[in-house]
Amino acid sequence: MYDIIIVRNGEISLKKKNKAEFENALVKNIKYRLYKNKEVKIQKENGRVEISLGNADAFEIIKKIDDIFGVVSMSPAMVSDSGYDNLFKLIKRLVDFEIDKDKKTSFKLSIRRIDKSFDMQSNQMNIDMGEKVLREYPNLYVDVKNPEFEIHCEFRKDVNIVYSKKILGEGGMPRGINGRACTLISGGIDSPVATYLMARRGLFIEAVHFHSYPFTNERSKQKVIDLVSHLTAYCGKIRLHLVNLLDIQKEINEKCPEEYMTILSRRFMMRIAQDIANEYECTALITGESLGQVASQTSLGLLATDNVVNTMPVFRPLIAMEKDNIIEIAKKIGTYDISIIKEEDCCTVFLPKKPATKPKMGKVISSEEKLDIDKLVKSAIEKREILELKIK
């Protein structure tokens, strides 16, 4: 039975000035995930996080935290009192627990002598302790280049720690360390992936979804709720704002050129998202646009939509990605199967036969002069539905 889990961080260690803040955020996120596991204790130790297990199962705990952003790898480990003789006893305990002693198995011993007051060098310790292991276990043999079983040992002043497994985590940066951003999320493949990628860079997530009910049905809204609920496993709690765009689309359809419907609708979406983002102290917008993927996602189209955002940057993590790569990530994070469910969305309402791919800003602005922009934006925001979605 294991005593602790060693949780390693990657980028956190590189940012020395912010190291304490980063580590505190990671500890907080792990504690949030494990709040039901009252027996475990979580603390910062030697530039990493250590989880004392009590009677908890190490691998059940690892399953609960392996998708937390900032966790690079984890090792279930055993701990003993300090001392050279105790180290050998601890190695024996690990071998007895993890290895079939009746089977021929190659091994390697890697000892880190963290207690520099001990008079034996690490290399000498490896040789001496390795010989003890060989005498104790006749079916083990040394292979330093490609061992089946590598025993990692930390020889410290206060304790000894041994482990053999290194289980990869999600990586990235701890959630919330870089503030909060508002994502424009649809029911498609791209925007959930974009949200995941930016959350992985340390952002809390606020989400806005635009629908055209009753021209679109309730199932299309539920699909997005399911997508965002799934993303909470990575992003933590997400507030989802459901905004009905139909009145705005009707106004555009009635008063503006047909080919500009998509661009003008997108500009309204960005205005509304920016206002909601400011309301909740977000510092950026996130979209799932990829250059050239659809008619509106040209350089000029993106310029036209960005033109209305004046208080924050727009992050587009997918901008240069191939669709196959986006799909691969969607499958990895589990959003793909939800995204491909066929449902209506607001972009198909009043869809122009030939959308403008090279919109002229003069025509965009003259079209919008026919609309009461402030009134339409305010009304849409006031009528929105807000859901608080949490990790299940």
Binding residues for ATP: 184-185, 209-210, 266, 288, 297
Beta bridge partners of 160: 80, 155
Summarize the annotated binding site as residue ranges.
Answer: 184-185, 209-210, 266, 288, 297
Alpha-carbon span 157 to 226, nearest angstrom: 50
Burial of 167 by CB count in 10 Å (0-12 exposed, 13-18 middle, 19+ buried)?
A: middle
Which three-class secondary structure string do you get for 334-388? CCHHHHCCCCCCHHHCCCCCCCCCCCCHHHHHHHHCCCCHHHHHHHHHHCCEEEE
Kindly state the tokens that stand for 276. 């909601």
Residue with token string 């950026």:
284
Kindly state the tokens that stand for 116. 């520099």
Alpha-carbon span 323 to 328, nearest angstrom: 9
Query: Taking every pair of C-alpha atoms in the chain, what is the biggest distance, in angstroms?
Result: 88
**Phi and psi (nearest 5°) for 322?**
-75, 150
Distance of alpha carbon 143 from the chain centroid: 37
